């Protein structure tokens, strides 16, 4: 999954693809680089980010999804709003990627059930403005697993089919660096739930913290690529179904190396 943020303020690529032409061009280049799905988002979820109105979000993502769909580029819509998901699906998006797993908007699961599309359920506790105050766990792996299971139950109750569900631990969302590493170490415990697992570490701040210089300053976003590739390949080798990254080519190359050692091919199949 290649990341396409059509926002002025996302943490790593905000402002780069917020014009229509730049966004469409970047979406097609992600596919050329080997992405199987382009994840289009119109609202930044970086810690502390303010919300934008739904109409703004729709105005950012719908024209881009329409243009990419016209070029047969498969897209997912990265949103927590049912209204935005519905507009994106009507414009040609094939997957709903909800970082709140249906928690932020109770109407989301119905939209997904009616569309019959794949649904990425990410672990989430609160909107960006106050999510880091919710990063309190006694056993992060068990709690994330249990909270995700409740989101799965809600989706199933609304009519989402089990084979359409994908789980995501939500790295960096109400998580401290140690929580992200603990979830990475125990990815098998999420995979055990029986759903495909998406791992999305790309350029996140816990990688910057890991790579901090002698002055203790986190490594800036543009220096986190090798760590992104390493975590993504380790996740795939541990059984993740997919990875969500900004620099698709580097990760695809690394997965090709891993596959050359005898590992199976990874293919995203639209349901």
251 binds ligand PMM (CB under 6 A): no
CB count in 10 Å sphere of residue 52: 16
Cα 114 from chain centroid? Answer: 22
Nearest alpha-carbon partner for 97 in 83, 114, 85: 85
In the set 2, 10, 141, 236, which binds ligand PMM (CB under 6 A)? Answer: 10
Nearer to ligand PMM (CB atom), residue 202 or residue 251? 202
Segment contacting ligand PMM by CB under 6 A, of 4-12, 110-118, 188-196, 215-223: 4-12
Q: Is 170 in the site for ligand PMM (CB under 6 A)?
A: yes
> Contacts with ligand PMM: how many residues (CB under 6 A)?
20
Task: Give whichever of 46 and 263 is closer to ligand PMM, judged by the CB atom.
Answer: 46
**Residue selected from 43, 57, 105, 168 as contacting ligand PMM according to rule CB under 6 A:** 168
CB proximity list for 224: less than 8 A, separation 6 or greater: 203, 204, 207, 208, 211
CB of 136 to ligand PMM, least distance (A): 19
Q: Which residue is nearest to ligand PMM (CB)?
A: 200
| 6, 11, 119, 148: residue in contact with ligand PMM (rule CB under 6 A) | 11
Does position 78 interact with ligand PMM (CB under 6 A)? The reply is yes
Check if 32 is active-site: no
Instruction: Identify which range of 17-25, 165-173, 180-188, 217-225 contacts ligand PMM by CB under 6 A.
Output: 165-173
CA 221 from centroid of its chain's CA atoms: 17
Q: Are 145 and 193 in contact, with CB atoms under 8 Å apart?
A: yes
Chain centroid to CA 151: 16
Dist CA 71 CA 119 (whole Å): 23
Q: Residue 199: which of 222, 233, 227 has the closest Cα?
A: 233
Q: Taking contact as CB under 6 A, which single stretch among the options 51-59, 194-202, 207-215, 258-266 is the one that binds ligand PMM? A: 194-202
By CB under 6 A, residue 43 contacts ligand PMM? no
Helices 140-157/108-115 angle, 10° precision? 60
Segment contacting ligand PMM by CB under 6 A, of 3-11, 55-63, 109-117, 247-255: 3-11
Nearer to ligand PMM, 4 or 73 (CB): 4
Active site residue 249: no
Among 37, 40, 45, 229, binds ligand PMM (CB under 6 A): 45
- Contacts by residues 95-101 (CB-CB < 8 Å, ≥ 24 positions apart): 95/37, 95/119, 95/120, 96/120, 97/1, 97/39, 97/122, 98/122, 99/45, 99/124, 99/170, 99/173, 100/124, 101/148, 101/151, 101/155
- Annotated catalytic residues are 204, 244
């Amino acid at each position: 999954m290649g990341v396409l943020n059509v926002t002025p303020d996302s943490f790593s690529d905000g402002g780069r693809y917020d014009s229509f032409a730049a966004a469409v061009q970047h979406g097609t280049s992600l596919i050329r680089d080997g992405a199987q799905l382009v994840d289009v988002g119109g609202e930044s979820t970086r810690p502390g980010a303010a919300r934008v109105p739904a109409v703004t979000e729709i105005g950012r993502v719908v024209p881009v999804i329409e243009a990419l769909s016209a070029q047969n580029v498969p897209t997912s819509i990265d949103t927590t709003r049912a209204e935005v998901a519905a507009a994106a699906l009507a414009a040609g998006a094939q997957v709903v990627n909800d970082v709140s797993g249906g928690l932020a908007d109770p109407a989301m699961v119905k939209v997904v059930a009616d569309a019959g599309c794949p649904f990425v359920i990410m672990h989430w506790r609160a909107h960006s403005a106050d999510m880091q105050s919710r990063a309190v766990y006694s056993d992060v792996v068990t709690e994330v697993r249990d909270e995700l299971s409740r989101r799965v139950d809600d989706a199933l109750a609304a009519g989402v089919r089990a084979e359409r569900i994908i789980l995501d631990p939500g790295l960096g969302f109400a998580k401290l660096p140690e929580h992200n590493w603990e979830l990475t170490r125990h990815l098998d415990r999420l995979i055990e739930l029986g759903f495909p697992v998406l791992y999305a570490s790309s350029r996140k701040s816990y990688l910057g913290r890991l790579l901090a210089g002698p002055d203790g300053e986190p490594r800036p976003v543009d220096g986190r690529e090798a760590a992104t590739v390493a975590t993504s390949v380790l996740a795939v080798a541990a059984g993740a179904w997919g990875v969500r990254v900004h620099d698709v080519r580097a990760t695809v190359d690394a997965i090709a190396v891993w596959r050359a050692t005898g590992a199976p091919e990874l293919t995203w199949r639209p349901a």
